[in-house]
Amino acid sequence: MDDNESQSETNAETDRKTVRVPTYLELATELEAKIRSGELQPGSQLPPQRDLARERALNVSTVTRAYRELQNWSLVTGSTRRGTIVNAESAMPRVDRASNPSGIIDLTVNRPAVDDFQQRLAEELPKLSSDKRFRELQEYQPPEGPAWARAAGRRWIGLNGFDPAAEDIVVTSGAQHALLAVISALIEPGDVVVSDRLTYYGLKALAQMYRFRIVGVDADDEGMSAEQLDSVCRQERVKAVFTVPSMHNPTVVTMSDKRRRELVDIAARYDLAIIEDDVYGPMLGNRQAAIITRAPERTYHISGLSKALAPGLRVGYLTCPPGKAVMMAEAVRTTAWMPAPLPLLIATRWLENGTANSILKAQLAELRARHALVMSILAGHSFNADARCMFIWLRLPPPWRAEDFATNVRAHGVAVMPSTAFASDREAVEHAVRVNIGCATSREELATALRIIASTLADRPRSLFGSV
């Protein structure tokens, strides 16, 4: 063993020893993994707190705090009559960067790696009142967004490789709101939407809300399987196909041009709507043509600013097939009445004056540096990564299972997302975790987390508690 390897092991062991996770949080994390994996089904009841405390030889107060954490994460609901019940709408993980438990390095959230947004916003706010559009902020706006916001949105969408007509753009309060608008306008209860077997958990949450069914298909290194998509369409009455073609969340795969053409051909054959979630597209630079350019008559293209600029800037852009923007605008009116005017003005000014591109460049530079850390510290392990992407897809060696690994690594102070959180159905998925390298507060914190992950990969699975 050389000096570098010895020092790396020493660093990893030091990192693991210095992080002490409270017992209640270990228990909450274990139960969270069981809920996300489906081992604890929606509607099922957790053991009474005194019974679980007796079984685990814990204080009742420890179990009570663990259950309270699960309620804070919106995974369970407490009832004096029925006890603690697993929620049905538990597909979307709680995202609350401001309240991370002490000692936990949270690598679960897709957020920019830099905080340039804060300084830029502080500089921008005093200038807003001099903008001639400032007076409009106190008034109701059209549900599709004011004309100036849609015109500015074309600049951002242009980074996705095409230039839509402004009248086909609907401005939303973020990309998730755009997806909600499409689903609420197009999909009826009982309809079938096809997605990757590992898919964005925001779609899963909407499936629970709107009672449609997701059918998952496998993917390879070119993207969603066209053969399996065609097979599903022959067997089911499919309404739409949902895809994240650029740096797929969570697997980082970017769909090949050949596969995009195949998907478009199948959608035309079976008259499917295509929902193209392209929020990572602007980060790619030179890229494959967006799917909407191949099938503008049936594609709903989603873009937004949260991933490249900041989650707090809730602005999304939904590009619709010709003539469909009115229907999508009505969905926006129904769910939010209109996109919030203040973020629209800030986003518009930044898209017009180049600030948005400056923040994007800083983000990409920081991601390249963090990617280099990943390549160094996780060398020898199997993962998908792209130097322009804020997360990696880490495959786990046997005998690790995704839920067990996520639970064990959190016990050492690092939170990651197990593959089961992204499973579109109950079919088996590969044992892997999504690690969000942009989420760490610094490169140093990321390096600490990566060394803990690497050390855990080399360890064996450990049962932190007994069965529930």
The span from the CA of 453 to the CA of 447, in Å, is 10
Are 181 and 332 in contact by the 8 Å Cβ rule? The answer is yes
- Supply 89's token pair: 């709408």
pLDDT of 169 reads 95
- Tell me the β-bridge partners of 418: 433
Question: How far, CA to CA in Å, does 415 sit from each of 11, 73, 108, 349, 366?
Answer: 19, 14, 6, 36, 21
What are φ and ψ of residue 287, in 5° steps? -155, 170
Maximum C-alpha span of the chain: 68
Domains located in the chain, CATH noted: 3-111+359-458 (3.90.1150.10), 133-353 (3.40.640.10)
The count of residues in the chain is 468
Q: Is 271 helix (H, G, I), strand (E, B) or coil?
A: coil
* CA dihedral of residues 218, 220, 224, 230 (deg, nearest 10): -70
Give the three-state DSSP class for 340: coil
Structure tokens at 139: 């008034």
Contact 344, 145 (CB under 8 A): yes
Cβ atoms of 241 and 274 within 8 Å: the answer is yes
**Number of Cβ within a 10 Å radius of residue 45:** 13
Residue (of 142, 174, 430, 390) closest to 303 by Cα position = 174
Side-chain-facing half-sphere of 391: CA atoms under 13 Å: 27
186-218 residues labelled b (16+ CB within 10 A) or e (exposed): bbeeebbbbbbbbbbbbbbbbbbebebbbbbbe
One pLDDT digit (tens) per residue for the chain, 468 residues: 454 444 444 454 444 444 456 788 778 878 877 776 667 877 788 999 999 999 999 999 999 988 888 876 668 887 666 788 887 555 555 555 444 555 789 999 888 888 778 888 888 889 999 999 898 888 888 888 899 999 999 888 988 788 899 999 999 999 999 999 999 999 999 999 999 999 998 898 888 888 899 999 999 999 999 999 999 999 999 999 999 999 999 999 999 999 999 999 999 999 999 999 999 998 898 788 999 999 999 999 999 998 888 888 889 999 999 999 999 999 998 888 888 888 899 999 999 999 998 999 999 999 999 999 999 999 999 999 999 999 999 999 999 999 889 988 988 889 999 998 898 887 888 999 999 999 898 999 999 999 999 999 988 776 555 444
CA 204 – CA 182 distance, rounded (Å): 14
What is the reported pLDDT for 68? 84
Residue 376 burial (CB count, 10 A): 11
Q: Does the model's pTM come out above 0.85? A: no
Q: Residue 78: how many CB atoms within 10 A of its CB? A: 15
- Give DSSP secondary structure letters for 86-138: E-S--SS----GGGPPTT-EE------S--HHHHHHHHHGGGGGGSTTGGGGG
**pLDDT value at position 100?**
53
Single-letter amino acid code for the residue at 177: H
Residues 6 or more apart in contact with residue 2 via CB below 8 angstroms: none
pLDDT on residue 218: 94
Nearest partner of 398 among 366, 444, 430, 442, judged by Cα: 430
253's CB contacts (< 8 A; 6+ apart) are 219, 221, 222, 223, 247, 384
pLDDT of 12: 45
- Comparing CA positions, the residue from 282, 88, 277, 42 lying closest to residue 183 is 277
